[in-house]
Amino acid sequence: MFRTALLTLLLPASALACPDGAKCITPGDGGLNRGSAGKWVTAPVSSPPVEVGHKLEPGQYPMVFNTRYYGLPPVRDGWVYYEIENEIYRVDRDTLEVLEQATDEANRAF
């Protein structure tokens, strides 16, 4: 009962929280389309940390071992997975040459 009474007292006050002189807008009046409030900002495009064909330094990046947990195909044919700056890459085990990016193959656990 007390909560209901409190809500009925506070709801009209929230409607008056934006006085006329504050330049308040609502989505329905096109206020954001006028350019007076808000600004579109685009995130800068970042380049990948390594390119395909790049040779990694031994011990520089961690190898991904639990591939099944991350939903990745099993390791085979002489390549392994490495995590490089929150991205997963397929890397040749012997030469440490980056073969391709495999982040899109991982599931949400990564």
Q: Is residue 72 part of a domain?
A: yes
pLDDT in tens, 46-95: 888 899 999 999 999 999 999 999 999 999 999 999 999 999 999 999 99
Tokens 């397929």 belong to which residue? 90
| Of the candidates 69, 107, 73, the residue with the CA atom closest to the CA atom of residue 90 | 73
Range of weakest confidence among 26-30, 38-42, 92-96, 103-107:
26-30
Q: Is residue 6 part of a domain?
A: no
Residue 79, both tokens:
């390549």
The domain total for the chain is 1
Domain that holds residue 81: 46-110
Task: Examine the pLDDT at 44 and tell me if it is beyond 90.
Answer: no
Provide the 8-state DSSP code for 42: P
Q: What pLDDT, on a 0 to 100 scale, did the predictor assign at position 18?
A: 58
Q: Is residue 104 part of a domain?
A: yes
Q: What pLDDT, on a 0 to 100 scale, did the predictor assign at position 42?
A: 85
| Of the candidates 85, 82, 86, 87, the residue with the CA atom closest to the CA atom of residue 58 | 82
